[in-house]
Amino acid sequence: MTVSAVRQDPRTGERGSPLAGRVALVTGGARGIGAAISRQLAGQGAAIAAGYRRGRDGALALAGEVESNGGVCTVHQGHVGSAYDCERVVGEVLDQHGRLDILVNNAGITVDKPVLKMSPQDWNEVVSVNLSGAFYLSKPALEHMVDRGSGRILNISSIIGQIGNVGQANYAAAKSGLFGLTMTMAREAAHALGKAGKLDDRGPGLTVNAIAPGFIDTEMVADVPERVLDRVKQQIPLRRLGQPEEVARVVAFLCEDASAYVTGQVWAINGGMEM
Ligand SMILES: NC(=O)c1ccc[n+]([C@@H]2O[C@H](COP(=O)([O-])OP(=O)(O)OC[C@H]3O[C@@H](n4cnc5c(N)ncnc54)[C@H](OP(=O)(O)O)[C@@H]3O)[C@@H](O)[C@H]2O)c1
């Protein structure tokens, strides 16, 4: 089997641009974990399409940064809880870049309340952004990837989807839901490639995986009171929050052609909090 495109200098061990020529759509790609993913994939040679909802200035700043480092980055406004917006954004990316190789379903929100105080609106808002959004975007992306015979879909779930959390029933349910969506799309992607006679052992393949970060140092946890974070850290064997870059590097690894045999899995990055 030949595995292409992981170019490594045999003397220095430095890696080249394993994602050169690839196009990656990263939702919520200009802030927090998403921005780290955009930077990491751009650093490996991918052209970035960064999604945003409200943060236009941040998205334009990220695009400027990527471009000043010699990369390519377009920005795409849209609400991932809207099926219409999701289909439009994938269409925009295909129009502007001509292809879509990597979809990172990263956009996410929290509306934390105990179940007894949670309204149907609180429930629906979180489920629509964190779970339905991944479905709305994956559908047109998968169609294109099946046609081309290759691709990567990464769903950013959470440790909360694995262990639950007081006050986060909506978020935990949505993030657990991503595991089922991931496994099913992984099976369907492989089946569709097989049916089209494109399931060979030489190319990058079409894989779907989930990432389950633990507590990561971003704006999402900025509102958590210090004393609560201290208690959280006591439950983490490594006794600290993770950094967005520590999540991004796993995403980049899974995007490489050489990761073609990894599909339908949940990748935990949590300092040992869940094992
Ligand atoms: N931080 C953690 O501890 C942690 C742990 C586990 C999993 N995660 C997951 O990792 C992902 C990123 O989290 P983060 O910590 O980086 O969060 P963050 O800093 O709060 O950023 C959230 C991102 O999602 C985008 N977004 C929110 N609602 C959207 C919508 N309706 N449509 C389109 N984009 C939307 C935001 O875009 P705008 O800025 O344009 O609004 C922003 O870029 C989320 O899925 C989160 O659940 C985070």
Kindly give the confidence (pLDDT) of every residue in the chain, 275 residues in length, as a single tens digit, with 9 standing for 90 and above. 333 444 555 555 555 799 999 999 999 999 999 999 999 999 999 999 999 999 999 999 999 999 999 999 999 999 999 999 999 999 999 999 999 999 999 999 999 999 999 999 999 999 999 999 999 999 999 999 999 999 999 999 999 999 999 999 999 999 999 999 999 999 999 999 999 999 987 889 999 999 999 999 999 999 889 999 999 999 999 999 999 999 999 999 999 999 999 999 999 999 999 99
Contacting residues for 180 by C-beta, under 8 A, at least 6 apart:
none
Q: Tell me if residue 136 is catalytic.
A: no
Class of residue 265 by CB neighbours under 10 A (exposed 0-12, middle 13-18, buried 19+)? middle
Q: Considering only CA atoms, give the Rg of the chain.
A: 18
Q: Confirm whether 53 is domain-assigned.
A: yes
> Is residue 122, in this structure, part of any structural domain at all?
yes
Which amino acid would we find at residue 134? A
Q: Is there a contact between 74 and 96 (Cβ–Cβ < 8 Å)?
A: yes
CATH of the domain at 212: 3.40.50.720
Dihedral sign, Cα of residue 130, residue 131, residue 135, residue 141: positive
pLDDT value for 200: 82
Is residue 8 in a domain? Answer: no
Question: What is the model's pTM?
Answer: 0.96
Beta-carbon-side half-sphere exposure of residue 30 (alpha carbons within 13 Å): 23
Q: Whose CA is nearest to atom 20 of ligand 1?
A: 220
The closest-lying atom of ligand 1 relative to the alpha carbon of residue 107 is 24
Ligand 1 pocket check for 38: Cβ under 6 Å: no
Q: Could you tell me if the CB of 158 is within 6 A of ligand 1?
A: yes
**Residue 248 belongs to some domain of the structure:** yes
Tell me the CA distances in angstroms from 82 to 24, 32, 102, 106, 235, one per residue in order.
20, 22, 20, 15, 36
Residue with tokens 């390519």: 72
Please check whether residue 10 lies inside any domain of the structure.
no
| The predicted structure's pLDDT at residue 8 | 53
Q: Which residues contact 249 (CB under 8 A, 6 or more apart)?
A: 40
Q: Which of 103, 95, 130 is nearest to 22 (CA)?
A: 103
Residue 81: inside a domain: yes
Asked if residues 74 and 63 have their Cβ atoms less than 8 Å apart, the reply is yes
What residues does 104 pair with on adjacent strands? 26, 154
- For residue 70, what are the CA distances in angstroms to 67, 73, 253, 254? 5, 10, 21, 23
Pocket test for ligand 1, best of 130, 157, 218 (most atoms within 8 A of CB): 218
- Residue 274 in any domain: the answer is no
Q: Report the domain count for the chain.
A: 1
User: Which residues span the domain enclosing 65?
Assistant: 23-266
> Per the domain annotation, does 17 fall within a domain?
no
* Cα–Cα distance, 106 to 234 (Å, whole number): 27
